[in-house]
């Protein structure tokens, strides 16, 4: 499944909910399904700046295939992480860099997240992009 297909699937899922309370609950449910990170992986160097809640992001792989694992101490943020991982984990750096997170706008996250959660979402998306850029640069050496 391509990034575009993954995003379309997310948009389709969220369109099933009539109001934002149901969408928030769905995000919380998605976050609960995220695998926990072992405590030894929750280190300060993996903690994202720009997030009010604690978000740990682990990147593995190379430009041809990047895997991301992440978790948060906040329920809705964990749900946002689940969406981001679904779209970007397991992709090449080039695929990541060539795509925009259109699902954020299309499901209404831009309008319905608090400013602090929106900043955190942007920080997560920015870090995914930064990791893809680093992998791509390493690959081009």
pLDDT at 96 over 80: yes
Q: What is the pLDDT confidence band of residue 115, given thresholds at 50, 70 and 90?
A: confident
pLDDT at 52 over 80: no
Q: Which residues are catalytic?
A: 51
7-43, pLDDT tens digit by residue?
A: 999 999 999 998 999 999 999 999 999 999 999 999 9
| Beta-bridge partners for 68 | 59
Among residues 79, 75, 57, which one has the least CA distance to residue 10?
79
| pLDDT value for 90 | 97
Cα distance between residue 127 and residue 129, in whole Å: 5
Rounded-to-10 torsion of CA 130, 133, 110, 9: -120
| pLDDT value for 111 | 87
63-89, pLDDT tens digit by residue?
A: 999 999 999 999 999 999 999 999 999
| pLDDT value for 141 | 65
Mean pLDDT of the chain: 93
Instruction: Note the pTM of the prediction, 2 decimals.
Output: 0.93
| pLDDT value for 125 | 96
58 touches 83 (CB < 8 A): no
Domains of the chain, first to last: 3-139 (3.90.1010.10)
Q: Beta-strand (E) ranges in 20-108?
A: 55-62, 65-72
| pLDDT value for 105 | 93
Phi, psi of 59 (to 5 degrees): -115, 130
């Amino acid at each position: 499944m391509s990034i575009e297909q993954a995003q379309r699937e997310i948009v389709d899922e969220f369109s099933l909910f009539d109001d934002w309370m149901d969408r928030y609950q769905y995000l919380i449910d998605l976050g609960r399904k995220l695998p926990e990170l072992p405590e030894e992986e929750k280190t300060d160097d993996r903690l994202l700046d720009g997030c009010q809640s604690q978000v740990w992001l682990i990147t593995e792989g190379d430009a041809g295939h990047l895997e991301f694992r992440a978790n948060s101490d906040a329920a809705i943020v964990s749900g946002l992480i689940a969406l981001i991982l679904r779209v970007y984990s397991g992709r090449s750096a080039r695929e990541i860099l060539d795509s925009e997170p259109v699902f954020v706008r299309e499901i209404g996250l831009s309008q319905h997240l608090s400013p602090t959660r929106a900043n955190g979402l942007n920080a997560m998306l920015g870090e995914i992009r930064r990791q893809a850029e680093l992998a791509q640069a390493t690959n081009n050496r």
